[in-house]
Amino acid sequence: MPASPSTARALNDRLALRLLQQEGPLTAGQLKQLTGLSRPTVADLVDRLTASGLITVVGESGEQRRGPNARLYGIVADRAHLAALDVRTEGVFVLVSDLLGRVLAEASVPIGPDAGTGPAVEQAVAAVESAAKEAAAMAAPPREGVRGWGTLHTVGIGAPGLIDPATGDLRDSAGLPAWHRSLTVTLQDRLPGARVTVENETNLAALAEQREGAARDRDTFVLLWLGHGVGAAVVLDGTLRRGASGGTGEIGFLPVPGTAALPSATDCTGGFHSLTGAAAVTSLAAECGLPTPATPDGPGAAEAVRGAVAEVEKAGEGVPVPVTGPRAAVPVARPGEGEVKRPGGTDVTVGAEPDATTASASGEAGPAARASGIDPGRGSASESESESASESGSAGTGPVARGTVARPGAGAASVPATAAGRPGCGAPPQAGPGGAPPAALPGDLPAARFLRILADRIAVGAASVVAVLDPGCVVLGGEVGQAGGAVLAGLVEERLRRMSPLVTEVRASSLGGTAVLRGALLTARDRAQDELFAPPDRMGG
């Protein structure tokens, strides 16, 4: 059945607005070429959109002939404003932008763990209101007859936890602050004219990586978030998958080898989170004799990883990667034997010691497994040595979910306790002839061993995802994924190649910790434009 005239007009208007958003200012002639519409139809839609306050003349093209076709039309960016929130356990980050995504104001407010629900919500809402007022002051003068000019139209929120797919509400999750759920309701009450939406933060990070980051050329991929907590987001055939209960990607609860226990329905301790959460990463760095921050949060773990990458890059051309067979250990390579180059310039040492992942799969704990604390017989050394190595997790294991905490004093350790008793991660090299220590190769550095063991741990969880979904691409996101860069991504890819027959490219995030805010802003912009780019009789203009 053919579309009615009003429906056809709405579709044409929306098409023209999308093109103006993507391409920037265009002439009527260019709109005619890009849309395939007739000249009279384009003239009509330009008049409608101009009258509604959505587009305006922003200049002239470089054409010699003056006239209507030479005028450049652009979207009126201040027609409405958008807010994006990244809600963390320790505070809130806010930005406000115009319809084209230009950031007009930013704010952040720390919220302590002892703050009550009421005071915490009030601080967060005040930050949003303050940023909205600052953005409004920067807006262009209001257009006469256009209601809602420069006001906050849509608020996009990224938060840890499960989002109910039926209602869109943030579900109550154990271990997450109570003020998270109250914030959405309060914002809607205090901003009655705005549309408030909430989405799992890892899903928003994946959206941002797909639109603006490392997965721009991928319709199918998995984002593995590595930060304070761990999470995953799944994009298949260009669509974000949430699952029946909104829990797709709760990889922190994934049972994995190398931990002391199994996770439970309310506690991810013993799951993948216990190997790759920020506290586990900073604890591993301390065991390897690397400088570690006092606070085992996402930025702290990223600092440790970034420092290790810088050290190995300074010492040599990449990190020598041990290659082992899938089922059996192989002899340790002799110096100078079997060195080849893998794509990206990373050295591959054929015939090196069994790594943690291979040792776990074969039932034999190799040197790297012992160094990393991954022992198939008894689980993680660091966790079995101290119950204080972890705290209760949560049902939401996204970028800021709660997780393990470092052992007391771990952040200040300079030499691991294991170094004296067994060949641990940071064991000093044995003295050579005459008592002088041998020169350390990049692969012998504690920083290189730290990165190899971390890659082993990440690959354990990534391999499970790859086996089920075959995404073809895994993006290491979050602060840690971005800090590891191409070095860590290359190590994880090499391990996946040995663990799975499914070809999988591993990339480092290009957005890191900012991805949640970017994803929240993109979501808010999409929703606002869906409403504003409607037929004129529904615009209220």
Cα–Cα distance between 106 and 472 in angstroms, integer?
36
| Inter-residue contact 232 to 225 (CB < 8 Å) | yes
The tens digit of pLDDT for each residue in 208-241 reads 999 999 999 999 999 999 998 899 999 999 999 9
The predicted pLDDT at position 115 comes to: 86
Q: What is the 3-state secondary structure (H, E, C) of 183-219?
A: HHHHHHHHCCCCEEEEEEHHHHHHHHHHHHCCCCCCC
| Inter-residue contact 346 to 352 (CB < 8 Å) | no
Cα–Cα distance between 7 and 1 in angstroms, integer?
12
76, 528, 223, 443 alpha-carbon torsion, rounded to 10°: 30
The predicted pLDDT at position 14 comes to: 86
Q: What is the CA radius of gyration of the chain?
A: 27
The predicted pLDDT at position 154 comes to: 94
DSSP percent split of the chain into helix, strand, coil, nearest 5: 45, 15, 40
Q: Which of 272, 262, 282, 243 is nearest to 463 (CA)?
A: 272
Q: SS3 for 57?
A: strand
- pLDDT per 10-residue tile (average), the chain, 541 residues: 76 88 89 92 92 87 60 89 92 93 93 87 94 86 59 92 80 75 90 91 95 95 94 95 90 90 87 93 94 85 94 73 36 31 33 38 36 35 37 38 34 32 42 42 79 96 96 96 95 96 96 92 90 58 39
Cβ atoms within 10 Å of 338's Cβ, excluding its own: 12
The tens digit of pLDDT for each residue in 103-113 reads 999 999 998 88
Cα–Cα distance between 7 and 127 in angstroms, integer?
40
Q: SS3 for 332?
A: coil
Cα–Cα distance between 512 and 518 in angstroms, integer?
10
What's the farthest any 2 CA atoms get from each other in the chain?
A: 92
